[in-house]
Amino acid sequence: MPRLEHRIIGSQHVYTSPDVPGLFVAHADQQTALDSVPSAIKVLEEMKARRKQRDKVAAAASSG
């Protein structure tokens, strides 16, 4: 698991990570926020993979 930074902003427990750009998980319950981190990282990884695939398709279309 990447390094996590925990802050309390208002009534929310917020988790971010310098190792995972875009990671921002917040919830009023600290354990719920922490438990949501792995699924949030998975979503970010899936989005990155989709962008990479889209760029690959676009590059192939422009060269053909």
Q: Which two tokens stand for residue 47?
A: 């989005």
Question: How confident is the model over 42-58, as a mean pLDDT?
Answer: 94
For the chain, the structural domain boundaries read: 5-63
Question: How confident is the model over 26-54, as a mean pLDDT?
Answer: 97
Q: What is the pLDDT of residues 16-38, one digit of tens each?
A: 999 999 999 999 999 999 999 99
Q: Which pTM value belongs to this model? A: 0.83
The pLDDT value given to residue 29 = 98
In terms of residues, how long is the chain?
64
pLDDT at 7 over 80: yes
Rounded CA-CA distance 63/48 in Å is 23
Measured CA angle at 14 (ends 38, 28), to 5 deg: 100
What confidence category does residue 63 fall into, taking pLDDT thresholds of 50, 70 and 90? confident
